[in-house]
Structure 1
């Protein structure tokens, strides 16, 4: 009888794993410290965050890397279930996807090559400013500088890594990108922050429009992480106390 009981317990444990849902997570793993690749693994603040939520809510995750501007189309077409990639909640995006409660706030920074003698005026005139396609930096520069003819040239890149490399190679004069990432680059690369654009952005985790069940799980997991102190610990891990 004891052996039968042990077997039943084992079957129940393995059965629970088999029944747990696996969600496909889309990210753009070129955005340290939020998401990046290290030794072939997807790591970073967002990756730890979504894995922690999955653990708390009893589901599994499979992470797929893609370009940032492909994430929302991938959600809409069902290729992925969840998008987490330092994605700002905007009115335009809210028309096509649903977002979790915000988990991070940020502005935009302007970075230039160190010792280039550029300052915030690099955003004016004939300078070349790089952005990542589809990001809020792209939208801000397009709407506020290009459309108003304050700036003549914007150069779009699939990845911030490509934009950074172009800056270091002297192909562009500045890059506009989210403040936490700019600050990390300023610590690890020969670049300097010469200005902050106050945008008061909030990052959210996106799901397809109307997927209230999945959104509820994500928000519940975020709430548990806040109340338990896990979210604070995660912030300390990647951004310091």
Structure 2
């Protein structure tokens, strides 16, 4: 993928789209760099009258999940998508899918894009296009207190549960499928945490915001604890995913930058990403 360093002009304001001090940045995968100048007011509303099919998760709090009380999918990603659609002018329909389904349906062009806390891994970048990073995070290990695990090195001859098709599964299979450990794959994060609480598995790996959301929600009942070590930070960063060479990728990057500069992004982040309680 070719990295694009784009300057956006808004009236007399000029700011860069990549390689700046902001909550997202495009990953370098080639040495060649192309510089573009993008005028933001010429991007706004350019996707009017379009209706996009958007893949989301119904199981990745706080980014994209089904809220039983509201009876709809909500989260950080949904609010961010709302703001992007307002700026670019498109309508959208949500399609709750697993990560494997998202990848296949984007390849088949059955959906236009996906925003579901999707990590920008090297492997995915070979087959898909991504926006600049919109959220930086990392993986952590969660354990059942009965397993007597205080450090990653204690995980031997144990069962580790992971969600299918995620960077957590990739990490566990590459780095923890040794020392007699078994990697057990589940369809949803809900299943993983249920089995971990029930002491049917000893540990899981998951994205830090999702872990914190679970721990805050279940703080009075949980038998789980989170290890301090931060894992695999680079390949856990989130981007919006499209088919390779998506025509409107630059428009989405401009919209993300505008939302960062006008404070909308920070408001969404403060609403959905809770610190430890």
For the pair 1:187 / 2:216, whether they are aligned, the reply is yes
Are residues 1:176 and 2:205 paired? yes
User: What is the deviation of 1:52?
Assistant: 1.0
CA-to-aligned-CA distance 1:77-120 (integer Å, 9 cap, x gap): 11111111111111100011000000011111111235653322
| Alpha-carbon distance, 1:27 to partner | 1.1
Q: Quickly say closer, same or farther: Cα 1:121–1:103, change in 2 above 3 A.
A: closer
Give 2:151's aligned residue: 120
| Structure 1 residue aligned with 2:104 | 73
- 2:231 counterpart of 1:198: yes
Q: Does 1:90 align with 2:125?
A: no
* Contact 2:52-2:112 at 8 Å conserved across structures: yes
**Take 1:83 and 1:230, find their aligned partners in 2: how far apart are those partners?**
20
Give 3-state SS (helix, strand or coil) of 1:223's partner: helix
Counterpart for residue 221 of structure 1: 255
The answer to whether the 8 Å contact 1:83/1:206 transfers is yes
CA gap 1:123/1:40 in 2 versus in 1, 3 angstroms = farther
Within 5 Å, give how 1:202-213 maps onto structure 2.
Answer: 202-211=237-246, 213=247
Q: Is the 8 A contact 1:99 1:207 kept in 2?
A: yes
Aligned equivalents of 1:226, 1:30: Cα separation in 2: 26
Give the whole-Å Cα distance in 2 for the aligned partners of 1:66 and 1:135.
13
State the structure with more CA Rg: 1
Q: 1:140 aligns with which of 171, 192, 202?
A: 171
Structure 1 residue 198: Cα displacement: 2.7
CA gap 1:57/1:235 in 2 versus in 1, 3 angstroms: same
Structure 1, residues 179-224: CA drift from partner, whole Å, max 9, x if none? 111111121221210243331231000010011x221221121011
Deviations 1:2-52 (A, max 9, x none): xxxxxxxxxxxxxx9xx6100000012101000111122110001111111
Asked whether the equivalents of residues 212 and 274 of structure 2 are also in contact (C-alpha less than 8 Å), the reply is no
Q: How many residues end up aligned between the 2 structures?
A: 221
- Equivalent position SS for 1:126: coil
Secondary structure, counterpart of 1:210 in structure 2: coil
Q: Give the counterpart of 2:84 among 49, 53, 66.
A: 53
Task: Please give the root-mean-square deviation of Cα atoms over the aligned residues, in Å.
Answer: 1.8
How much has 1:68 moved relative to structure 2? 1.7
SS in 1 for 2:265: helix
Gaps of 5+ in 2: 1-44
Aligned-partner Cα distance in 2 for 1:128–1:24: 37
3-state SS, counterpart of residue 192 of structure 2: helix
Which residue of structure 1 aligns with residue 73 of structure 2?
Answer: 42
2:61 is matched with 32
Report which of the two has the higher share of helix. Answer: 1
**1:151/1:80 Cα in 2 relative to 1: closer, same or farther (>3 Å)?**
farther
